[in-house]
């Protein structure tokens, strides 16, 4: 090092080469090692690499005679030293633990630009030490300026567009945007840097859109002015179903879909009449734009189940029709199959297995099957209802909300189990909310069918009252932590219930 300083009398070069520049570089790298934590620590390798290369070039330069090669090596060595110092300072100011105490996190684009300036300034200072002033450099050659200007045109365009995006904030990281007609390219902004904006689509594909392009196209921002976005799905109803009835069914079906907002409320309108039927437009609000596909699907599913329960078929487009005349025998065979299946299901309910075969068969004939979607509420606590449900396929969860408290799960029921008997048989309001945990096919027995059964088998009422009394005791024990009732108390309750059933069914 001493040899270098002797043969190179330039005072600036001497202090830098001889030690102060290198020592400052080493000290800064030590400071970085102390103050940089986490993944940003990996960035230390760059100033370190520049410092090492700087020393390597100095060593290479030593044996060379004076001349252009020696001067060039000196210039590059200086540039590397200034880059190392500049970069270390930049990292200390923007990424260290210290800086986080005093400064909010800066947007990536500003960091990128400042990072670029570190090299530009290092280059200009290195030139300065060689006696070339930056003004001379650009004014000296109009051709050079033109070449640089032309080659940087797009890059500078993107840079300034990026700065404009930060100044105007038409979108921010995390927003869902659409920047062209292709809806598959709607995505969430994950990064805005000095050149481009990165957008992650729902297919988990990253699109890098140059900022210049974004500055020239209209951008649809689905996350502004607020995260709430309206979605629309269309459904067709047959002409023989009154539109107002269909709309009421659909509105009721939209309640309780997780992710579909209750406020602003969904709306259903008749949007047209076409060859398929009455076109119904269903609008609802969500605040999780990324889940829009899943939520639209959930809405369509709910509508399907609700319409199916009301016997309303979604019409298909008219096509060539092939008429197949089902013979009377076919129809009655199908009907018999349905009744036999429902009769078997009734046989699984402990109080119906006591019924004489003929009465059970009649009851099966009067019952109907209904489908419910996953998560759909079948009966709601405190509401009125006079239907009893038997699970043919699927599973449900029974939840009870004590006054002013969150619902508590009290039971899970599967195929062969029944529920809804408490309200259906006594006329009281529902004691619990029963929700489908999977798609459910249920056998539904209404009050009229039950009344007929009690007429033919009055003794059944007693058996039923005993079952209900046992269930209610179980409920009180689990929920209200009442001690298990004595058999005498259950018998008394059962007697009381029997009176209520008799009253309710005018027996
Ligand atoms: P109902 O009150 O008509 O409506 C809610 C139904 O949940 C209720 O009838 C019972 O069928 C059912 N239910 C309530 N508590 C329990 C329980 N502890 N175990 C099983 N089912 C229950």
Closest-lying ligand 1 atom to the alpha carbon of residue 475: 18
The CATH number corresponding to 338-504 among 3.60.10.10, 1.20.1300.10, 2.60.120.10, 3.40.50.1100 equals: 2.60.120.10
Rounded CA separation 467/388 (Å): 14
Strands 267-273 and 278-286: antiparallel
Nearest-atom number in ligand 1 for the CA of 479 is: 18
Ligand 1 atom closest to Cα of 419? 11
Report whether 158 contacts 215 (CB < 8 A): no
**Residue 420 beta carbon below 6 angstroms from any ligand 1 atom:** yes
The predicted structure's pLDDT at residue 286 = 95
CB 447 within 8 Å of CB 424: yes
CA 177/CA 188 separation, integer angstroms: 6
409 bridge partner residues: 399
Of 371, 365, 370, residue with least CA distance to 340: 365
Q: What is the DSSP letter of 217?
A: S
Kindly state if the Cβ of 61 falls inside 6 Å of ligand 1: no
- Alpha-carbon distance 507 to 496, whole Å? 14
How many residues are given for the chain? 507
Atom in ligand 1 nearest the alpha carbon of residue 431: 2
397 CA → ligand 1 middle, Å: 10
> How many whole angstroms from 418 Cα to the centroid of ligand 1?
9
501, 425 contact by CB (below 8 A):
yes
Q: Name the residue with the closest Cα to ligand 1, atom 18.
A: 475
Residue 172 per-residue DSSP state: -
For the stretch 251-264, pLDDT in tens is 999 998 999 999 99
For 95, phi and psi rounded to 5 degrees?
-120, 0
The CA distances from residue 472 to 30, 220, 379, 409, in Å, are: 73, 56, 17, 15
Pocket test for ligand 1, best of 398, 416, 436, 470 (most atoms within 8 A of CB): 398
The b-or-e profile of 334-343 (16+ CB within 10 A means b, else e) is: eeeeebeebb
pLDDT reported for residue 6: 39
Q: How far apart are CA 317 and CA 473, in angstroms?
A: 54
Q: What are the E-state strand segments in 58-205?
A: 176-178, 187-192, 196-201
Helices vs. strands in the chain: H and E counts, helices first = 19, 16
d(CA 8, CA 121): 24
Query: CB neighbours (10 Å) of residue 254?
Result: 21
Structure confidence at residue 70 (pLDDT)? 85
Domain ranges of the chain: 11-140, 168-221, 229-309, 338-504
Torsion angle in degrees (nearest 10) through CA of 151, 157, 158, 162: 150
Distance 469 CA to ligand 1 centre (A): 11
* Closest to 168 in 3D by CA, of 207, 222, 224, 103: 224
Instruction: Answer whether 72's CB lies under 8 Å from 88's CB.
Output: no
The CATH class given to the 168-221 domain equals mainly beta
435 lines ligand 1 (CB under 6 A): no
C-alpha dihedral sign at 360, 420, 366, 301: negative
Q: Phi, psi (5° rounding) for residue 192? A: -120, 110
Q: Which atom of ligand 1 is nearest to the CA of 478?
A: 18
Best CA proximity match to 107, nearest among 21, 194, 189, 48? 194
- The tens digit of pLDDT for each residue in 178-229 reads 998 888 889 999 998 878 899 999 899 999 998 888 888 889 999 988 889 9
Q: Is the Cβ atom of 390 under 6 angstroms away from ligand 1?
A: no
List of residues 6+ apart from 209 with CB closer than 8 A: 179, 196, 197, 198, 199
CATH code, residues 229-309: 3.30.70.100
Residue with tokens 């009229």: 448
Contact present, 251 and 282 (Cβ < 8 Å):
no
Cβ of 422 closer than 6 Å to ligand 1, yes or no, is yes
Cα–Cα distance measured from residue 277 to residue 237, given in angstroms and rounded to the nearest whole number: 6
Please report, in tens digits, the pLDDT of each residue of the chain (507 residues total).
Answer: 333 443 454 544 445 556 788 889 999 999 999 988 888 888 999 999 999 999 888 888 888 888 888 888 888 998 999 999 999 999 988 888 777 777 777 777 778 888 888 999 999 888 888 777 767 666 656 667 777 777 777 777 878 877 777 777 888 899 999 998 888 889 999 998 878 899 999 899 999 998 888 888 889 999 988 889 999 999 999 999 999 999 999 999 999 899 999 999 999 999 999 999 999 999 999 999 999 999 999 999 999 999 999 999 999 887 777 776 766 777 788 888 888 888 888 887 777 777 788 888 888 888 989 999 999 999 999 999 999 999 999 999 999 998 888 899 988 999 988 899 889 988 889 999 999 999 999 999 998 888 888 888 888 888 888 877 887 777 677 656 667 778 888 888 889 888 988 888 887
Q: Is the CB of 343 under 6 A from ligand 1?
A: no
Q: What phi, psi does 360 have (nearest 5°)? A: -65, -35
430, 432, 492, 429: which is closest to 465 by C-alpha? Answer: 492
DSSP result, 403-465 = TTS--EEEEEE-TT-EE-HHHHHH-PPPSSEEEESS-EEEEEE-HHHHHHHHHH-TTHHHHHH
Confidence (pLDDT) at 2: 35
CB atoms < 10 A from the CB of 317, how many?
A: 9
Q: Whose CA is closest to atom 9 on ligand 1? A: 420
Rounded to whole angstroms, how far apart are CA atoms 342 and 364?
5
Q: Hey, whose CA ends up nearest to atom 6 of ligand 1?
A: 420
């Amino acid at each position: 090092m001493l040899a270098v300083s002797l043969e190179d009398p330039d005072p600036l070069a001497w202090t830098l080469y001889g030690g102060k520049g290198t020592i400052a570089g080493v000290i800064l790298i030590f400071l970085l090692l102390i103050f940089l934590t986490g993944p940003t620590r990996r960035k230390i390798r760059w100033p370190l690499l520049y410092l090492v290369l700087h020393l390597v070039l100095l060593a290479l330069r030593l044996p060379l005679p004076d001349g252009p090669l020696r001067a060039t090596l000196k210039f590059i060595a200086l540039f590397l030293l200034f880059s190392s110092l500049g970069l270390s300072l930049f990292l200390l100011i923007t990424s260290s633990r210290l800086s986080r105490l005093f400064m909010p996190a800066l947007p990536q684009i500003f960091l990128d630009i400042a990072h670029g300036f570190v090299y530009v300034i290092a280059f200009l200072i290195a030139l300065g030490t060689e006696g070339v002033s930056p003004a001379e450099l650009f004014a000296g050659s109009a051709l050079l300026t033109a070449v640089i200007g032309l080659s940087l045109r797009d890059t500078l365009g993107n840079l300034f567009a990026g700065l404009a995006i930060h100044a105007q904030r038409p979108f921010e990281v995390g927003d869902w945007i659409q920047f062209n007609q292709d809806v598959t390219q709607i995505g969430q902004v994950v990064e805005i840097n000095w050149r481009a904006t990165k957008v992650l689509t729902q297919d988990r594909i990253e699109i890098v859109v140059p900022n210049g392009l974004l500055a020239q196209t209209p951008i649809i921002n689905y996350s502004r002015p607020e995260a709430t976005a309206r979605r629309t799905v269309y459904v067709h109803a047959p002409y023989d179903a009154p539109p107002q009835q269909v709309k009421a069914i659909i509105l009721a079906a939209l309640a309780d879909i997780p992710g579909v907002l209750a406020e602003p409320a969904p709306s259903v309108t008749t949007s047209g009449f076409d060859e398929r039927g009455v076109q119904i437009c269903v609008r609802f609000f969500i605040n999780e734009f990324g889940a829009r596909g899943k939520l639209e699907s959930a809405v369509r599913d709910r509508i399907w189940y609700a319409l199916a329960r009301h016997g309303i078929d979604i019409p298909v487009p008219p096509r060539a029709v092939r008429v197949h005349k089902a013979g009377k025998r076919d129809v009655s065979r199908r009907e018999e199959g349905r009744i036999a299946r429902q009769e078997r299901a009734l046989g699984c309910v402990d109080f119906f297995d006591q019924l004489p075969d003929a009465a059970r068969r009649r009851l099966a004939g009067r019952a109907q099957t209904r489908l419910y979607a996953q998560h759909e509420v079948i009966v709601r606590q405190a509401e009125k209802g006079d239907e009893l449900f038997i699970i043919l396929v699927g599973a449900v969860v029974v939840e009870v909300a004590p006054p002013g408290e969150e619902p508590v799960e009290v039971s899970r029921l599967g195929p062969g189990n029944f529920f809804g008997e408490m309200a259906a048989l006594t006329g009281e309001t529902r004691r619990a909310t029963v929700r489908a945990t999977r798609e459910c096919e249920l056998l539904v027995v209404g009050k009229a069918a039950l009344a007929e059964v009690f007429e033919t088998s009055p003794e059944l009422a007693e058996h039923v009252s005993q079952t209900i009394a046992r269930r209610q005791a179980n409920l009180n024990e689990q929920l209200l932590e009442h001690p298990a009732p004595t058999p005498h108390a259950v018998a008394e309750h059962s007697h009381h219930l029997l009176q209520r059933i008799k009253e309710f069914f005018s027996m």
